[in-house]
């Protein structure tokens, strides 16, 4: 199994690109949102450490946002609880897909949380800043301060780009992304 990690800025289209490879994708953001909606243990743990922010199950996005925006330490507290469960989901995903040729890791903090292996193929998604901003503003729960806090816990984009073996210039068109994806997969297989 060849593991491909997708790196890039928030809103650069990592998930969009990951899905276009046509191989199993571990989408960490999707797993986190499922945990907030379906995992009562996560709710109880978060309510215990941050009782002023979490009132009822399932966890609402605004509760997470309010907790993060009120105190910068809260983001780290939330991450410590949630990431343990996300890692378990990742392990399960890897076992389930162990016989696949490729798997795609769409994990925003892949390098920061040392989830990657030395053998992983890393692909950096490069997007125009103006396009990223435009896309972020279209999100339902867009909050400039929240995005700033998330960016502050991430490694620099320059570092991620240097660590990557490939760069995809995302113009958000299916034709371009599919072409890049095929070319990269062909080069990896050689």
Same domain, 20 and 42: no
- What is the tens place of the pLDDT at every residue in 28-65? 999 999 999 999 999 999 999 999 999 899 999 889 98
Tokens matching residue 141: 């729960």
- What is the tens place of the pLDDT at every residue in 177-187? 888 888 898 88
Beta-carbon count within 10 A of 184 CB: 18
Tell me, yes or no, if the pTM score tops 0.85: yes
Residue at a domain's end among 96, 114, 142:
96
CA distance 55 to 182: 47
Same domain, 119 and 181: yes
Peptide bond just before 185 cis, omega within 30 deg: no
Q: How high is the pLDDT of residue 27?
A: 96
Beta bridge partners of 125: 8, 168
**CATH number of domain containing 137:** 3.40.50.300
Beta-carbon count within 10 A of 22 CB: 12
Query: Total structural domains in the chain?
Result: 2
Q: Cα 68 vs. chain centroid, distance in angstroms?
A: 17
Same domain, 105 and 147: yes
CA distance 103 to 98: 9
Domain around 121: 1-24+101-190
Same domain, 10 and 83: no
CA distance 84 to 133: 30
Same domain, 136 and 157: yes
Same domain, 29 and 64: yes
- What is the tens place of the pLDDT at every residue in 117-174? 899 999 999 988 877 778 777 777 777 888 888 888 888 999 999 999 999 988 777 7
Same domain, 125 and 81: no
């Amino acid at each position: 199994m060849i593991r491909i990690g997708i790196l890039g800025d928030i809103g650069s289209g990592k998930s969009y690109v990951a899905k276009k490879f046509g191989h199993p994708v571990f989408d960490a953001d999707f797993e986190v949102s499922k945990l907030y909606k379906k995992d009562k243990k996560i709710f109880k743990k978060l309510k215990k450490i941050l009782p002023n922010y979490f009132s009822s199950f399932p966890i609402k996005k605004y509760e997470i946002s309010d907790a993060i925006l009120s105190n910068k330490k809260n983001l780290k507290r939330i991450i410590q609880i949630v990431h343990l469960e996300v890692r378990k989901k990742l392990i399960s995903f890897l076992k389930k897909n162990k016989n696949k040729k490729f798997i795609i890791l769409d994990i925003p903090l892949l390098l920061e949380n040392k989830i990657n292996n030395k053998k992983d193929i890393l692909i950096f998604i490069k997007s125009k800043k103006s396009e990223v901003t435009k896309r972020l503003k279209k999100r339902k729960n867009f909050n400039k301060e929240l995005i700033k806090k998330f960016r502050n816990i991430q490694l620099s984009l320059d570092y991620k780009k240097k660590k990557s073996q490939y760069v995809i210039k995302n113009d958000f068109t299916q034709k371009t992304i599919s072409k890049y994806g095929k070319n990269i997969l062909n080069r990896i297989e050689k």
